[in-house]
Amino acid sequence: MPRVKARIMNKEAIDRALVRIAHEILERNNGTDGLALVGIRTGGVHLARRLAANINRIEGVDVPLGALDVTMYRDDLASRGKKMPLGKTDVTFSVKDMKVVLVDDVLYTGRTIRAALDSIMDLGRPQQIQLAVLLDRGHKELPITADYVGKNVPTSRKEAVKVLLTEEGGSDEVVIMDLEGGE
Amino acid sequence: MPLKQKDLLGIEGLDRSDIEHIIATADSLKEVSTRDIKKVPALRGKTIVNLFYEPSTRTRTSFELAGKRLSADVINMSVSTSSVVKGETLLDTVMNIEAMNSDIIIIRHSMSGAPSLIAKELKSSVINAGDGAHEHPTQALLDLYTIKERLGRTDGLKVAIVGDIAHSRVARSNILCLNKMGVEVRVCGPATLIPAGIEEMGVEVYYRPEEALKDVDAIMMLRIQMERQGSGLFPGVREYSRLFGLNEARVRLAKEGAIIMHPGPINRGVEISPAVADGPYSVILDQVTNGVAVRMAVLYLLSEGRA
């Protein structure tokens, strides 16, 4: 069994990071005009919803919110470790000419984001796509960088980073687990 | 989660969790067909061969679209234009197809068991698109998906299947599938078209629609195969239509809001009246739409298990 090695963010730290990112998104995009948030299933969807709530508290505007399941766009059909059931892609607004902020929990190899970029492009042609992540853990395999980062955490490939959110029955914390001994 | 098996030969080999997994995957994939760009790259580079030894438009087109919406290369072979007319055996045909590196072979054949025969010889995944009077698993899955989508659940529902039960692979697969999902199944038709011992499959047998349709949540009409007219199994199409055809009066016997289903192609005015087929409770075209999503799910889940 993987063992919890360190707790690197608690609820307050996650909340503060998401408030800061919400401000950064608004600052960089000059407000909410043409702005949309799209979360990547499953963790990113919850974070996108929280960011949208923060943006509403700051600007009083509900920005369009969508969810993306990128499974069908992955380059590792069948070989990926976690076998999650396929989720729904739910983007009910047109992404054409929008400034779309993709939201995910952890940026690791960049392959999920590559898949998400292709997936969004198939739905329409946004004016811009930006990327917000709660954690950037390094080990990129593709030239993909986040525009908004909650926390940079240097990790080893032998470790797993888990974002546990209350929406999924977790406790709102980020932990590093040791994969030595096998998962 | 891929499916546990290499092939989809029938509902018989699936358990309830497999069925629920296929339906949930179909539900997620349905959205792809509503996009401007109706395509995702999941099966890019995979080769799917549609091998149909019996006529079909709906099922073949549905599988073809399902494969193409997942970006696979789909080849259609129909018997009339293939080497079968030159006397090639079924096994030789499929071994030749596999020698061209196919990944999935979808087969419809008039002989029960043909898909399972070739599945044993092939590395490709085999999907049964209807074999004789045996099974038509994707039809049962799309019917179940439509029921679940419209009625929100399956456990405790009552469904009546009306028509030629004896020669229907759709009925067989549906009985197996609905039973596994906790649905009470009734079958109804002329005694000559109800096979002896069908009760052992866990269904109630009725010979009068007036009784069979009472308080059901869904009515599945089967196509009366015109080819069988004159076979002595029923006196005539007009009599069949009068005794078993679904009209508005018979629909009213079912539960309020019951849905009307038909696997197609329909014989208007024979087993189903136009007013019912086009009426507010008909989900016949939803079945067709859902068929593409269910077949996408099956193609995807089998491919996931192969790599």
> Helix/strand/coil (H, E, C) string of A44-93?
HHHHHHHHHHHHHHHHCCCCCEEEECCHHHCCCCCCCCCCCCCCCCECCC
> Is residue A182 over pLDDT 60?
no
Task: Return the CATH fold of A12-77+86-153.
Answer: Rossmann fold (3.40.50)
Distance, in Å, from the CA atom of A7 to the CA atom of A177, rounded to the nearest integer, reads 9
Give the number of A-B residue pairs with CB atoms closer than 8 Å: 56
Say yes or no for a CB contact (<8 Å) between B307 and A72.
no
B135-172 per-position pLDDT tens digit: 999 999 999 999 999 999 999 999 999 999 999 999 99
> Is residue B175 over pLDDT 90?
yes
Neighbours of B171 (CB within 10 A): 31
User: A108 in contact with B at a CB cutoff of 8 Å?
Assistant: no
Q: CA-nearest residue of chain A to B32?
A: A89
Distance, in Å, from the CA atom of B106 to the CA atom of A1, rounded to the nearest integer, reads 42
Domains of chain A, residue spans: 12-77+86-153
- The structure's pTM equals 0.91
> Is residue B3 over pLDDT 80?
yes
What sign for the dihedral angle of Cα B130, B132, B134, B140?
Answer: positive
Distance, in Å, from the CA atom of A138 to the CA atom of A142, rounded to the nearest integer, reads 11
Instruction: Please provide the DSSP assignment of B109-145 as one string.
Output: ESSTTHHHHHHHH-SSEEEEEEETTTB-HHHHHHHHH
pLDDT band at A114 (very low <50, low <70, confident <90, very high): very high
Specify whether the CB–CB gap between A39 and A66 falls below 8 A.
Answer: yes
Residue B52 DSSP class? E
* The token pair that represents B21 in the structure block: 């997994």
- Calculate the CA B306 to chain-centre distance: 24
CA distance A76 to chain B (A): 9
The pLDDT of residue A83:
61
As separate numbers, helices (DSSP H) first and strands (DSSP E) second, chain A gives 3, 8
Residues of B in contact with A72 (CB under 8 A): 29, 32, 40-42, 70, 300
Beta carbons within 8 Å of B181's beta carbon, 6+ residues apart: B16, B19, B144, B154, B155
Say yes or no for a CB contact (<8 Å) between A72 and B37.
no
Distance, in Å, from the CA atom of B234 to the CA atom of B153, rounded to the nearest integer, reads 36
A137-147 per-position pLDDT tens digit: 999 999 999 99
pLDDT band at A78 (very low <50, low <70, confident <90, very high): low
- Calculate the CA A49 to chain-centre distance: 11
Whether residue B252 lies in the annotated active site: no
Q: Which of B27, B41, B304 sits opposite A78 (nearest CB)?
A: B304
Residues of B in contact with A73 (CB under 8 A): 40-42
Question: What does the buried/exposed string (b/e) look like for A136-154 if buried means 16 or more CB atoms within 10 Å of the residue's CB?
Answer: bbeeeeeebebbbbbeebe
Cross-strand partners of B268: B272
The one catalytic residue in B58, B214, B228, B255 is B58
> Is residue A81 over pLDDT 50?
no
The pLDDT of residue A170:
84
Distance, in Å, from the CA atom of B27 to the CA atom of B18, rounded to the nearest integer, reads 14
pLDDT band at B236 (very low <50, low <70, confident <90, very high): confident
What type of residue is B231? S
User: A89 in contact with B at a CB cutoff of 8 Å?
Assistant: yes
> Is residue A84 over pLDDT 80?
no
Neighbours of B131 (CB within 10 A): 25
% of chain A surpassing 90 pLDDT: 83
Question: Who wins on pLDDT, B131 or A81?
Answer: B131
Residues of A in contact with B6 (CB under 8 A): none
Q: Reduced to 3 states, what is the DSSP secondary structure of residue A31?
A: coil
The one catalytic residue in B60, B108, B169, B172 is B108
User: B149 in contact with A at a CB cutoff of 8 Å?
Assistant: no
pLDDT band at A44 (very low <50, low <70, confident <90, very high): very high
Average pLDDT over all residues of chain A: 92
The pLDDT of residue B84:
73
User: B35 in contact with A at a CB cutoff of 8 Å?
Assistant: yes
B91-144 per-position pLDDT tens digit: 999 999 999 999 999 999 999 999 999 999 999 999 999 999 999 999 999 999
Whether residue B93 lies in the annotated active site: no
Residues of B in contact with A82 (CB under 8 A): none
Q: Reduced to 3 states, what is the DSSP secondary structure of residue A163?
A: strand
Phi and psi torsions of B194, nearest 5° = -110, 115
Neighbours of B172 (CB within 10 A): 26
Residues of B in contact with A79 (CB under 8 A): 307
The pLDDT of residue A183:
42
Residue with the two structure tokens 């289903």: B261
Region of residue B210 (left: phi > 0; alpha: psi -120 to 50; beta: else): alpha
pLDDT band at A1 (very low <50, low <70, confident <90, very high): low
Specify whether the CB–CB gap between B173 and B137 falls below 8 A.
Answer: yes
Average pLDDT over all residues of chain B: 94
Say yes or no for a CB contact (<8 Å) between B42 and A72.
yes
User: B158 in contact with A at a CB cutoff of 8 Å?
Assistant: no
Q: Reduced to 3 states, what is the DSSP secondary structure of residue B63?
A: helix
Q: Which of B24, B35, B42 sits opposite A77 (nearest CB)?
A: B42
Arithmetic mean of pLDDT, B68-89: 86
